[in-house]
Amino acid sequence: MTGNIFGERFVLVSFGESHGRCVGAVIDGCPAGLMLSEKDIQRELDRRKPGQSGITTTRSEADEVEILSGLFEGYTTGAPICMVVWNKDVDSTKYETVKYEPRPGHADYTAFVRYGGFNDPRGGGRLSGRTTISYLMGGAVAKKLLRETLNVEILAHTTEIGGVKAEKRSLDEIRQADNNPVRCADPEAAKQMIARINEAQKQKDSVGGAVQCIALNVPAGLGDPVFNTLEGDISKALYSIPAVKSVEFGSGVDSARMTGSQHNDHFALREGKIITLSNYAGGILGGISNGMPITCRVTIKPTPSIRKKQQTVNLLSMKETIIEVEGRHDPCIVPRAVPVVEAMVAMVILDHAISAHLIPRVLEKKM
Amino acid sequence: MTGNIFGERFVLVSFGESHGRCVGAVIDGCPAGLMLSEKDIQRELDRRKPGQSGITTTRSEADEVEILSGLFEGYTTGAPICMVVWNKDVDSTKYETVKYEPRPGHADYTAFVRYGGFNDPRGGGRLSGRTTISYLMGGAVAKKLLRETLNVEILAHTTEIGGVKAEKRSLDEIRQADNNPVRCADPEAAKQMIARINEAQKQKDSVGGAVQCIALNVPAGLGDPVFNTLEGDISKALYSIPAVKSVEFGSGVDSARMTGSQHNDHFALREGKIITLSNYAGGILGGISNGMPITCRVTIKPTPSIRKKQQTVNLLSMKETIIEVEGRHDPCIVPRAVPVVEAMVAMVILDHAISAHLIPRVLEKKM
Amino acid sequence: MTGNIFGERFVLVSFGESHGRCVGAVIDGCPAGLMLSEKDIQRELDRRKPGQSGITTTRSEADEVEILSGLFEGYTTGAPICMVVWNKDVDSTKYETVKYEPRPGHADYTAFVRYGGFNDPRGGGRLSGRTTISYLMGGAVAKKLLRETLNVEILAHTTEIGGVKAEKRSLDEIRQADNNPVRCADPEAAKQMIARINEAQKQKDSVGGAVQCIALNVPAGLGDPVFNTLEGDISKALYSIPAVKSVEFGSGVDSARMTGSQHNDHFALREGKIITLSNYAGGILGGISNGMPITCRVTIKPTPSIRKKQQTVNLLSMKETIIEVEGRHDPCIVPRAVPVVEAMVAMVILDHAISAHLIPRVLEKKM
Amino acid sequence: MTGNIFGERFVLVSFGESHGRCVGAVIDGCPAGLMLSEKDIQRELDRRKPGQSGITTTRSEADEVEILSGLFEGYTTGAPICMVVWNKDVDSTKYETVKYEPRPGHADYTAFVRYGGFNDPRGGGRLSGRTTISYLMGGAVAKKLLRETLNVEILAHTTEIGGVKAEKRSLDEIRQADNNPVRCADPEAAKQMIARINEAQKQKDSVGGAVQCIALNVPAGLGDPVFNTLEGDISKALYSIPAVKSVEFGSGVDSARMTGSQHNDHFALREGKIITLSNYAGGILGGISNGMPITCRVTIKPTPSIRKKQQTVNLLSMKETIIEVEGRHDPCIVPRAVPVVEAMVAMVILDHAISAHLIPRVLEKKM
């Protein structure tokens, strides 16, 4: 399948460019009978849109979603749902040189090679973070479906920015993470993270960080080993978010330094239900969910767009040259990536839940 | 697509169980005209087979491959290639209780839920590490194809076991990693790793570790963003290896603590070719290869099969109980995972190279 | 994959409803560097749009296409191309009863079952012939690509309507078939077909017919047996056109009454090229193109929307009842199906040509 | 996906060659908990195997199936099921010249082009009718699953051979069609068909025919329009059977000559269930099953292997030449195609039934 189509049973098709007419999505495979309106989508878009706080890009976009198909009398019909956000505040003057003088750390060079120089270079074009708007469109529907059918809850939050790590917090505190601009469940750490971002911005630099995602109430039994494991599908999904450099589940990289007796999660009974006493597995064993919370973590590299002088190669003259990147950029993209992480995890879990026949093709008969 | 089929253009179908009649694979999509024999496959199987050294399971299997279809006069025909390894040394006496008393850290419980108790529990059945024999079958063909058409080289080696980390070593030293039983390019670290494994075994325990994989000479331009990124596809592939808990590219988890000015790889020219002066990107930008070595790293958890007493739940009586796992197990699976990592990375790169029309459908006309 | 996504390498995503806001498509997998504009698409839409002649529906739609993404400076970029046609002349007053009193021969009843009553019933909703606008969008791009890269020409024409059969005509005459309202290459038969349609309309009835499609200059070697045969893929594509009841290749149903010695196409040489002296095979042997023209034929049933009294069942009261279908319908849909047949055949051939590496990923480098 | 993999949820992977070591299949996606043994498969293989009667090839093959994986204690486990039939009576002496002197009507020439001359030419190699053994393996499992879960019955029978047409017969008579060597429900026609075949054989010639397939008790609501219609998927499946030249549903090619008022199937109630009074639709409307019997028909061309002199081109010398085809061939392949038609239809219906959540992932919990 081609590169802009995601999923097998609940499918997201993404289209649009940063400085084109719009960014949009088609969702195919959504069950009929889900009450849905623009509001359900807008809530998620608002969590990602620029200009939410002092630490994001100054590009001003309302990012208002319009649903073009797939609804009738307020419910999904089972037909494909097309949605768009029209681009408004497009300033492409800063991108004239980008095309032939690729910015270090960006996809400018690889897109040039892949698409033979025909790619839209304005604002990163198709490979801009702005295309994740379409991920949120799919994620908003997936989250609503999962919540209404299986009571699944997906929670992402910032755990690290620019070397500042958050303390481990309760689920209730994680649910409040959106209350600060960095989406960190630890308010003390949040303050330091903001300071760290502001400092980086002053130095014409940027910082990276990490996001954890927790999926609650996922039924045991999801996953199709040996190749379509739940980790594999979530991981692939998360790597479609620009700037992700690692994906871990449960104990993640720390498992390398543990022994089997430390790492094995013992089984126990709680109110007649099988649980594990620890969750180093991250809720997945053998590629299949075990009923415990699914926990994963992504690392997000520092924004490559920085205003410092950097070396590159001019692709026309084939000579080395020095550039200074202009344009409006976030000194740290981590907080705006948080809802996108939730969206991708939600779509994968939904896809597997459909495969397990846990999501009906019609939510409820309508007569 | 169902769970035992991997890839889109070069496709691996895996079948077989640990204690069944065989483990095997069908490869579909292999170009015609590749000279191929059992030897090409056997070389890789021998790197994984048990009993290579004192630190692996005592199960004795020759793991000899037999090719059943897809070849004619020593060349691939373009037809599906079926291969099998017949299981010989099967001792299933130790697995009678496993089915209803799932081992902590194993897939016993999740397989029971997923397959309703019909799964073959002997030796982990379908979800045994033994099924990775089929991955090696696909990987052996993929590696040969990549080498002969694009001169791509795939190198994996152990970088960490039980808390012992290897020093960074040269490509030539990495190429010699198979020379010690832990497949570590740093001979000093290798000795300590072996000691650490032996110690764990004495304590009826196990240890985890990490494997790095490097792919050299991968052409720039492979990858289909936004969803079929090269990282995403490699990552999904690597998570089909049992016990993998993290997948990182380039700087990986460390990127969270770097600034943009540290992390951005500057472009430069060397002998008329565009390169980057560092490789924190791990050879991939925007989901597309940039021509630099692709570097990724997996963490492998400690083997869950340990001889210590552990708590579980009996699925029939639904009561908590204490088990001691028997059977023949590796105290550390990392060294045997090394060729499997190579196999998965090779198949993904080959699939993308076919998509980029870099691998001919017929290697060379035969008249 | 879900039901509104077509193809593997050149992918068409269809969305929209007959009486919704729009009908549209996303094309993913289009090579970069194809010069493309609305005009290329509009030409095909104009061949299908209503109101072209006295024998089509009176619904008045300009069917003007708008391209929303995937182009930059007049060329395709390799990014997904989204296009829409906004619905204008929507009159849904006639469809209030359709939902619960399904029209015989229509998809009303099956859509009701499949989508639990949530499907948009207005004008057939998602299952209206109007959604084939999206097929034409994909077909227009596919035809242009095939023409410019391989000189492939796709020609469909009406061979039968309401019992009137066209005489066999030359390729040049077939190329002129659009000159009459029934798109028949035989002008005498065309007149009788028109008379037959007008007569049916007077009787509040409808008629069916047949369309032949010929693909010229298709290279030998396309097709992936045993399951992804060229016939199989074309056939599946053609059955997505509403009202198709049969798909034949070459000799088709007549082959049942031939002997092997009559049917076998002997091989010969013409100007150093291998051809066959007859073409009962329809250009395909063993699921693979042989370099001769690909010929196929579809039968299209009479339009089910007729103004005669018909029996149905009321789905709410579960009682038998008599209905008279209202709304604006074509007494014969065959002529408007002709360009849609071309579109579907074009997309399948293009997909296989990409698989055979005959269509570059970038048409020509742009510097 | 590559060419030897069929289906999405119930997947058949076919491998093997006519004169290689074996023909086999892997089934992936079979629910756990189906009681299955070699007998279930053998029953179908015996219907196709050579030497059943005087009108088939004299190649002597027992075609005994062996199941290599996916079963445990007599039940499917949810793991992939690999099966093989070992080739026994291989006589490849007659095929030495075939490779460079392609037989008219055969896939020799197109396979040569597609696979660059590396294809196994012995007995048609991969493109022999013998590979349909693997279709029967998948079909046998699909039919058993459909019967045990939904009471679906799939019945194919010969309706025409060499110009002799069978009279329409009752379902009970159709169920007895296997009683004569041509599998025709009309015993009088059967006699004439046999005479016609013997006559053709005497004349060193061959004849074609037609097979009808009926699927009973298929629930309404199967099919995923607009592209994954039930007709489209069945049609594609049937075109993977060698020699098929047309696929029709319900009224098929005759619909071209009918009016809407004749063709529309009126809805009615029978014992509280919605039915149609006629079934010109063939059980499918808008690509979705309507609960009536699904009826389709394939035309099968005359066997291309005939002993008459025929013209071809020598691919090495590139000169026209005359050949006489040797080897052991059926003068009419229609009767042996009957079970293969059933197999393909069964697999498609099963795949759609799984998509509709009508087939459980585990047939019944096992404790």
Q: What is the DSSP string of D26-87?
A: EEESPPBT-B--HHHHHHHHHHH-TTSSTTS--------EEE-SSEETTEE-SS-EEEEEE-
Region D152-175: what's the mean pLDDT? Answer: 97
Residues in a beta bridge with D22: D86
B356 touches chain C (CB under 8 A): yes
- For residue B75, is pLDDT > 70? yes
Q: How far is CA D42 from CA B50, D4, D23, in A?
A: 37, 22, 14
Chain C (57-76) residues lying within 8 Å, Cβ to Cβ, of chain A: 68-70, 72, 75-76
Judged on CB neighbours under 10 Å (0-12, 13-18, 19+), C214 is buried
Question: In the prediction, which pLDDT does D58 show?
Answer: 65
Dist CA D24 CA B13 (whole Å): 13
Q: What pLDDT score does C95 carry?
A: 61
D15 vs B17, B26, B126: nearest CB: B26
On the question of a cis peptide bond just before residue D325, with omega within 30 degrees of 0, the verdict is no
Confirm if C101 and C323 have CB atoms less than 8 A apart.
yes
D302: number of Cβ within 10 Å: 32
Contact D269, D280 (CB under 8 A): no
Alpha-carbon gap: D367 to the closest alpha carbon of chain C (Å): 34
Residues of C numbered 78-137 whose beta carbons fall under 8 angstroms of chain D's beta carbons: which are they? 102, 104-107, 109-111, 113-114, 126-127, 131
CB neighbour list of residue D293: distance below 8 Å, 6 or more residues apart: D214, D215, D216, D218, D279, D283
CA distance D12 to A227: 17
Q: Closest approach of chain D CAs to the CA of A23, in angstroms?
A: 25
Closest CA of chain A from C83, distance in Å: 11
Residue from A77, A228, A357, A361 to probe the interface with D (highest D Cβ count within 10 Å): A357
SS (H, E, C) chain A: CCCCEECCCCEEEEEECCCCCEEEEEEECCCECCECCHHHHHHHHHHHCCCCCCCCCCCCCCCCEEECCCEECCEECCCCEEEEEECCCCCCHHHCCCCCCCCCCCCHHHHHHHCCCCCCCHHHHHHCHHHHHHHHHHHHHHHHHHHHHHCCEEEEEEEEECCEECCCCCHHHHHCHHHCCCCECCHHHHHHHHHHHHHHHHCCCCECEEEEEEEECCCCCCCECCCECHHHHHHHHHCCCCCEEEEEECCHHHHHHCEHHHHCCCEEEECCEEEECCCCCCCEECCEECCCCEEEEEEECCCCCCCCEEEEEECCCCEEEEEECCCCCCCCCHHHHHHHHHHHHHHHHHHHHHHCCCCCCECCCCC
Give the best residue of B355, B363, B365 to mutate against chain C (max C CB count within 10 A).
B355
Superfamily of domain A9-355: Chorismate synthase AroC (3.60.150.10)
Q: Is the Cβ of D319 closer than 8 Å to some Cβ of chain C?
A: yes
- Say how far apart CA C337 and CA C300 lie, in whole Å: 9
Size of the C and D interface in Cβ pairs below 8 Å: 366
Chain C from 19 to 48: CB within 8 A of any A CB: 20-22, 24, 26, 28-29, 32-33
Give the single-character DSSP code of C82. Answer: E
- Annotation: CATH topology of D93-344: Chorismate synthase, AroC fold (3.60.150)
Q: Do A119 and C82 touch (CB under 8 A)?
A: no
For residue C98, pLDDT beyond 90: no
Q: Minimal Cα distance from A309: which residue of B?
A: B261
Q: Does B281 contact A at CB distance below 8 Å?
A: yes
Run of H or E including C81: strand C81-86
Return the domain boundaries, chain C. 5-355
d(CA B31, CA B39): 19
Chain D residue with CA closest to A356: the answer is D361
Smallest Cβ distance to D118: which of B11, B16, B366? B366
Confidence check on the interface: ipTM exceeds 0.90, yes or no: yes
Report the C-alpha gap between B190 and B180 in whole angstroms: 7
Nearest to C9 among A2, A20, A82 (CB): A2
How confident is the prediction for chain B on average, in pLDDT?
95
pLDDT, tens digit, 9 for 90 and up, residues A121-142: 998 899 999 999 999 999 999 9
Mean pLDDT of D10-25: 97
Q: Does D360 touch chain A (CB under 8 A)?
A: yes
Per the DSSP assignment, residues forming a β-bridge with B25 are B14, B83
Helix (H) or strand (E) holding D133: helix D132-150
* d(C-alpha B253, C-alpha B282), whole Å: 12
Residues 136-195 of C with CB under 8 A from D: 160-163
Instruction: Answer yes or no: are the C-beta atoms of B198 and B134 closer than 8 Å.
Output: no
User: Angle, nearest 10°, between helix axes A132-150 and A334-355?
Assistant: 50
In contact, B202 and B194? CB cutoff 8 Å:
no
Cα dist from A181 to A331, A337, B91, D261, whole Å: 13, 12, 58, 66
The amino acid that residue A243 corresponds to is A
For B69, the closest of D21, D68, D80 (CB atoms) is D21
pLDDT bucket at C89, cuts 50 / 70 / 90: confident
Check if the beta carbon of residue B162 is closer than 8 Å to that of residue B209: yes
Q: What distance in Å separates the CA atoms of residue B16 and residue B86, rounded to the nearest whole number?
A: 9
CB contact under 8 A, A119 and C78: yes
Q: What is the DSSP string of B162-216?
A: TTEEPPP--HHHHHTGGGSTT-BS-HHHHHHHHHHHHHHHHTT--B-EEEEEEEE
Is there a contact between D226 and C127 if contact means CB atoms under 8 Å apart?
Answer: yes
Q: List, for residues A343-364, the tens digit of each pLDDT value.
A: 999 999 999 999 999 999 999 8
The string of pLDDT tens digits covering residues C22-64 is 999 999 999 999 999 999 999 999 999 887 777 776 667 789 9
C108, C313, C326 from D268: Cα distances, Å? 15, 6, 21
D194-252 pLDDT, tens digit per residue, is 999 999 999 999 999 999 999 999 999 999 999 999 999 999 999 999 999 999 999 99
Give the closest of B285, B301, B312 to A106, CB-based. B285
Backbone angles phi and psi of A143, in degrees to 5: -60, -40
Per-residue pLDDT at D59 exceeds 70: no
B289 band by pLDDT with thresholds 50, 70 and 90 = very high
pLDDT tops 70 at residue C97:
no
Mean pLDDT across chain C:
95
Q: In Å, how far are A241, A253, B163, C123 from D223, measured between CA atoms?
A: 33, 45, 54, 20
Better pLDDT: B93 or C188: C188
Closest alpha carbon within chain D to C306:
D260
CA of C6: how far to CAs of B2, C3, C30, D238, in Å? 19, 8, 13, 19
CB contact under 8 A, A235 and B240: no
Contacts of A357 in chain D (CB under 8 A): 357, 360-361
User: Which of chain B's residues have a Cβ under 8 Å away from the Cβ of D38?
Assistant: none
C226-283 tens-digit pLDDT? 999 999 999 999 999 999 999 999 999 999 999 999 999 999 999 999 999 999 999 9
Q: Which residues contact B179 (CB under 8 A, 6 or more apart)?
A: none
pTM above 0.90, yes or no: yes
Q: Using CA atoms, how far apart are residues D172 and D290, in angstroms rounded to an integer?
A: 23
Q: For the packed helices D132-150 and D38-48, what is the interaxial angle rounded to 10 degrees?
A: 130
> Which bin fits B313, alpha (ψ -120 to 50), beta or left (φ > 0)?
beta
Of B102, B226, B239, the CB nearest to A235: B239
CA of D29 vs chain B CAs: smallest distance (Å): 6
Instruction: List chains adjacent to chain C, taking adjacency as at least 3 C-beta pairs closer than 8 Å.
Output: A, B, D
User: What is the number of alpha carbons within 13 Å of residue D66 lying toward its C-beta?
Assistant: 10
- Among A9, A26, A96, A112, the residue to mutate for chain C (most C Cβ within 10 A): A26
In the CATH hierarchy, which top-level class contains the domain B5-355? alpha beta
D251: distance to nearest CA of chain A, Å? 28
- For residue C99, what pLDDT is reported? 80
pLDDT digits (tens, 9 = 90+) for B162-182: 999 999 999 999 999 999 999
Percent above pLDDT 90 for chain C: 89
Q: How close, in Å, is residue C214 to chain D by CA atoms?
A: 16
β-pairing, A294-300 with D209-216?
unpaired
A301 to chain B, closest Cα gap in Å = 5
CA A138 to CA A143: how far, in whole Å? 9
The confidence band for D123, taking pLDDT boundaries of 50, 70 and 90, is: confident
Q: Is the pLDDT of residue A50 over 90?
A: no
Peptide linkage before B341 cis (omega within 30 of 0): no
Of A104, A308, A107, which is closest to residue B267 (Cα–Cα)? A104
CA distance C31 to C366: 13
For A268, the closest of B160, B287, B311 (CB atoms) is: B311
